[in-house]
Amino acid sequence: MDRTSGLFSPALEAVSRDEMRSRFDAQIKKTLRHAYENAPAVKALMDSRNISPSDIKSLDDLHLIPVTPKAELVRMQAENPPFGGLLAVPLSKIRRIFRSPGPISDPQGIDEGWGWEEGLFACGFRPGDVAVNTFSYHMTPAGMMFDDSLGRLECAVIPTGIGDREAQIEILRSYSVTGYVGMASFLLQIGQKAIEMGLDPQKDLCLKAAFSTAEPLPDSLRNSVQDMFGLILRQGYGTADCGCLAYECNLRGGMHLTTRAYVEIVDPLTGKPMPNGETGEVVVTLFNEAYPLIRFGTGDLSAIDESSCGCKRTSPKLRGWLGRADQLVKVKGMFIHPGLVQKAMAEFPDFQKFRAVVTREDNRDYLTLKIETAAPPEKSVVEALKKRLRDHLKIGCEVFACAPDSLPSDSKILDDQRQWD
Ligand SMILES: [Zn+2]
């Protein structure tokens, strides 16, 4: 079976960038008009800024509407329960209501899914697969989300939820399960348990495709799981409120943006879109009829890569989860984040302990990377470090070698020492 090529929906995923943009323009206008007319909170927000739906003529005008951060959604729902005035259909058109920590309530419209089927197909799931879904089916939406999407992809689902690894292994064997949905770290634990039980995960189980989300997926974890089971492991990115927002294809190198929502990367302080390629907050406009979130601020950081991919999908790629927006520090006019420093330093395993320190003198910002090392590093290593940091952070920095055990013992990676009057 070919699990590495083809598209779930060529008519949506392989259109030209121009066509994709004109579709988004049309969907934004339709969604905004519907939300303005039916969701009182959207009308109130737009009226407060003197914006009417006719002012938003294309994606270029969308930034006129302020971002609604997740914390604001919690407040709106608490003050005006249960949905904060954001529900845009009568309750008779609601299929399910989920409740996530916050607390936050997410209604699901009748026949409205979460769009993971594109990502599951890109991962290698095919009609006729039997899949275990190890996400929880209670209260929060993850279990139902993937159940729904696997069904749309014509895969049979075994709703195992998380829990007892031996029971999971028994089910994987009894039903010749070929697909796994859940966290990669849990699949690794299942494999370790199978080996403990004297089984060979490649010969005694027949998993072929695994889709992971809800946790970072470092290469070490991905490689361990792929080698252990002899399967394809790919990841997706989404939220409980929005469903699927991006997913990896077979070629990896970032996650293709979904066609079911418009995803922007914005400056978390101003809400304005960031220039291409720069890191900022992931903001989503969801083309849902029941719960049309407009410029919803996820609080997650990422960047968009516009380069084309060899897989025929034309949507740009999200660089993956780069941290939380509330951990951002603005240095020399650029946002930097501990996660970016960590990513750059992952390529220099000789330096296990490091800290990026931000200082300010004469109204100028300085970034210094302090590394603990027993012997002074070679000049070429220092230059390579500076280059990788510049690639990731987009600003220059100095490197300062210090003796072992001289950096503070907390695990802080980015230390902003600037004093503001
Ligand atoms: Zn691709």
Ligand 1 center from residue 351 Cα (angstroms): 33
Ligand 1 centre to CA of 108 (Å) is: 29
| Cα of 309 from ligand 1 centre, angstroms | 5
Angle between helices 40-48 and 17-38 (to 10 degrees): 100
Domain that holds residue 362: 329-416
157 Cα: distance to centroid of ligand 1 (angstroms): 26
205-251: pLDDT as tens digits: 999 999 999 888 889 999 999 999 999 999 999 999 999 999 999 99
| Percent of the chain with pLDDT strictly greater than 90 | 80
Q: How far is the CA of 412 from the centre of ligand 1 (A)?
A: 35
CA of 257 to the centre of ligand 1 (A): 10
pLDDT band for position 421 (cuts 50, 70, 90): low
Closest CA to 320 of 394, 219, 242: 219
pLDDT at 341 over 70: yes
For residues 330 and 45, the model is more confident at 45
**Separation of 5 CA from ligand 1 center, angstroms?**
10
251 CA distance to ligand 1 middle (Å): 6
pLDDT digits (tens, 9 = 90+) for 19-34: 999 999 999 999 999 9
Asked if the structure places residue 379 within a domain, the reply is yes
Question: 41 C-alpha to center of ligand 1: Å?
Answer: 37
- Given a contact cutoff of 8 angstroms between Cβ atoms, the answer to whether 339 and 323 are in contact is yes
Tell me how far the alpha carbon of residue 2 lies from the centroid of ligand 1, in angstroms. 16
Q: Do the domain assignments include residue 337?
A: yes
Q: Is residue 333 part of a domain?
A: yes
* C-alpha 235 to ligand 1 mean position (Å): 13
Between the CA of 339 and the centroid of ligand 1 the distance, in Å, is: 24
The answer for 198, left when phi > 0, alpha when psi is -120 to 50, beta otherwise, is left
Whole-prediction pTM: 0.83
Give residue 176's Cα distance to chain centre: 31
The yes-or-no verdict on residue 333 having pLDDT over 90 is: no
Q: Does any domain span residue 385?
A: yes
pLDDT over 90 at 187, yes or no: yes
Using one digit for the tens of pLDDT, what is the confidence trace for 33-78?
999 999 999 999 999 999 999 999 999 999 999 999 988 999 999 9
Q: How far is the CA of 312 from the centre of ligand 1 (A)?
A: 6
Instruction: Report yes or no on 30 lying in a domain.
Output: no
d(CA 281, CA 329): 13
How close is the Cα of 182 to the center of ligand 1, in Å? 22
> What is the DSSP secondary-structure string of 297-347?
EEEEEE-EE-S--TTS--S-EE-----BGGG-EEETTEEE-HHHHHHHHTT
CA of 323 to the centre of ligand 1 (A): 23
Both tokens assigned to 317: 């790629």
Query: Which of 342, 184, 189, 188 has its CA nearest to residue 248?
Result: 184
The verdict on residue 374 lying in a domain is: yes
Average pLDDT, the chain: 94
Q: How far does residue 158's CA lie from ligand 1's centre (Å)?
A: 29
Tell me the CA–centroid distance for residue 295 and ligand 1, in Å: 26
Q: Which residues pair with 239 in a beta bridge?
A: 243
Distance 325 CA to ligand 1 centre (A): 27
The answer to the question of residue 225 being in a domain is no
pLDDT in tens, 249-296: 999 999 999 999 999 999 988 899 999 898 899 999 999 999 999 999
CA of 156 from ligand 1 middle (Å) equals: 26
Domain contains 391: yes
| Ligand 1 mean position, distance from CA 250 (Å) | 7
Q: Measured between alpha carbons, how far is 209 from 226 in angstroms, rounded to an integer?
A: 9
What separation in Å is there between the alpha carbon of 247 and the centre of ligand 1?
9
- CATH number of the domain at 368, please: 3.30.300.30
How many folded domains does the chain comprise? 1
